[in-house]
Amino acid sequence: MNIVFIPKSSDQIFWDIMRAGVNEALSEIGNISLTWRGPAYNDDTDAQIRILQIYTRPGIDAIVIAPTDRQRLVEPIKKAADQGIKVIVVDSAFNGTSYQNFITTDNYASGQLAAKHLAESLHKQGKVVVFRIVAGSASTDDRAQGFIHYINEHAPDIKIVADIYGGASRGKARHSADELLKRLPDIDGIFAVNESSTDGVLRALRDAGRAQKTKLVGFDSSDFLFDGLEKHDVDALVVQDPRQMGYLSIKAAVAAINNSSIKDKTIFTPAKLVTLENHLTPEIKKLISTH
């Protein structure tokens, strides 16, 4: 079986952890030739579309893809499905229907989880910022919406003073956060929607001498972010289970190839709130391991 896996990027630990889950499924199943190829950054939708088009050809049995843009991938994915290629969508939704299964975190609920923690940390008052990556990224926009709706409903004395798209790479996020902190030096909290945005915001807070003064709740994990947690520069992280996403995506692809698709079209994997108190537990260590 020839399966192609197209992640959003190659610059985040998240995808390395997902690859570990993919490899686990490959070793269990056997008889699979896997191609893993994605764009360098998760704002390079043009590159992802080109990669998808390259592998939309005879001899490819299934494509697993994490769409970088919810709308622009609709037609390229449909063309792959129309050629008889089984499509599994992982991590981030798109607006089409040409797929067998969608395996993801409940991103809206995860955004609410982050909002609840930040609201409690701020005693339900203060000024906060929602720090996104790029427009059109379904998973991160769903997290932002969950966060905003929770704050508006449960913590009305917290004011969202900015809701910005800071860029897809940690470098762009850092630059955007630097500018944000110059413009709004007195914000009390920031919610960053993924690994690269959390990384960039953390570096900017340290640059500005605002670490620990401005509470940061981020998404995903890396050694750098866990170091920030241990140094109290990060208040909490919402950590997904990319390993399980990767594992289940290969299982779903094989089932689809064998015409025995998994019944549940959307499959949710869990997310956990990670704080200084629980970050060394076996459960959390397993979530963030790339091995």
| Residue 59 CA: distances (Å) to CA of 158, 232, 251 | 54, 51, 19
CA-closest candidate to residue 269, choices 247, 249, 245, 235: 245
**Can you give the pLDDT at residue 262?**
82
Structure tokens at 261: 């698709």
Statement to judge: residues 87 and 131 lie in one domain = no
Structure tokens at 9: 């990027």
Q: Is residue 288 part of a domain?
A: no
Statement to judge: residues 225 and 265 lie in one domain = no
Q: Is residue 77 part of a domain?
A: yes
**Can you give the pLDDT at residue 287?**
82
Length of the chain equals: 291
Compute CA 117 distance to the chain's CA centroid, rounded to the nearest angstrom: 19
Statement to judge: residues 152 and 217 lie in one domain = yes
Residues of the chain falling short of pLDDT 50: none
Q: Is residue 155 part of a domain?
A: yes
| Span 105-126, pLDDT tens digits | 999 999 999 999 999 999 999 9
Q: Is residue 279 part of a domain?
A: no
Q: Is residue 64 part of a domain?
A: yes
Q: Are 18 and 243 in contact (CB under 8 A)?
A: yes
Q: Is residue 283 part of a domain?
A: no
Structure tokens at 56: 């939309």
Q: What distance in Å separates the CA atoms of residue 238 and residue 191, rounded to the nearest whole number?
A: 10
Statement to judge: residues 196 and 120 lie in one domain = yes
Q: Is residue 280 part of a domain?
A: no
Statement to judge: residues 187 and 112 lie in one domain = yes
**Can you give the pLDDT at residue 81?**
98
CA-closest candidate to residue 158, choices 117, 198, 193: 117
Statement to judge: residues 192 and 129 lie in one domain = yes
Dihedral (Cα; 175, 271, 112, 176), 10-degree rounding: 0
Structure tokens at 54: 């390259």
Q: What range defines the domain where residue 169 resides?
A: 107-239
Statement to judge: residues 164 and 20 lie in one domain = no
Statement to judge: residues 16 and 160 lie in one domain = no
Statement to judge: residues 116 and 157 lie in one domain = yes
- Total domains in the chain come to 2
Statement to judge: residues 8 and 86 lie in one domain = yes
Q: Are 95 and 74 in contact (CB under 8 A)?
A: yes
Statement to judge: residues 102 and 114 lie in one domain = no
β-pair partners for 35:
4
- CATH no. for residue 163? 3.40.50.2300
Statement to judge: residues 196 and 248 lie in one domain = no
β-pair partners for 132:
165
